[in-house]
Amino acid sequence: MKYNNEYKRQDVYERVTGYVIEALQKGHVPWQRKWSVTGSLAGLPRNAITHRPYRGWNMFLLNYVTYCQGYNSPYFLTFKQAAAAGGYIRRGETGTPIIYWAVVDNKKDPPGDDDETGASPRQKMIPKLHVVFNTQQTGGIDFSLPAEPVKTWKEKIIACDHLIEQMPQRPTIKHGGNRAYYHRLEDYVQLPRFSAFDTAEDYYTSCFHELAHSTGHTGRLNRKELMQSKSFGSDLYSKEELTAEMTATYLCAITGIEQQTINNSVSYIQNWLQRLQNDKKLLVHAAAQAQAAADFIIGKQSEQPALPNPAQPYRIPA
Range list of H helices, the chain = 9-25, 56-69, 79-84, 153-165, 200-214, 224-227, 235-255, 266-278, 282-297
Residues 80 and 169 in one domain: no
In a domain, 112, yes or no: yes
Same structural domain for residues 196 and 270?
yes
Q: What is the pLDDT of residue 158?
A: 92
User: Does some domain include residue 88?
Assistant: yes
Q: Is 311 inside a domain boundary?
A: no
Final residue before a domain boundary, out of 79, 104, 139: 139
Q: Answer yes or no: do 24 and 134 share one domain.
A: yes
pLDDT in tens, 142-197: 877 656 667 788 888 999 999 999 999 999 999 999 999 999 999 999 999 999 99
Indicate if 274 and 195 belong to the same structural domain.
Answer: yes
Whether the CB-CB separation of 46 and 81 falls below 8 Å is answered with: no
User: Do residues 158 and 47 share a domain?
Assistant: no
Domain residues for the domain of 73 are 9-139
In the predicted model, is pLDDT for residue 261 greater than 80? no
The predicted pLDDT at position 180 comes to 96
CA dist., res. 167 & res. 175, Å (int): 18
**Mean pLDDT value of segment 226-236:** 82
pLDDT band at 18 (very low <50, low <70, confident <90, very high): confident
Domain co-membership, 233 together with 113:
no
Has residue 315 been placed in a domain? no
Domain tally, the chain: 2
Confidence check: pLDDT of 107 > 70: no
For residue 310, tell me if it sits in a domain: no
Same domain, 172 and 292: yes
Confidence of residue 14 (pLDDT cuts 50, 70, 90): confident
Please choose, from the candidates 84, 67, 88, 81, the residue with its C-alpha nearest in 3D space to the C-alpha of residue 23: 67
Q: What percent of the chain has pLDDT over 90?
A: 45
Residue 161 CB neighbour total at 10 angstroms? 15
**Which stretches of 75-188 are DSSP H helices?**
79-84, 153-165
Average the pLDDT over each of 115-129, 222-236, 275-289 and give the range with the smallest value: 115-129
Domain end among 105, 139, 173 = 139
Q: Model confidence at 262, in pLDDT bands (50, 70, 90)?
A: low
- CA neighbours closer than 13 Å in the CB half-sphere of residue 246: 31
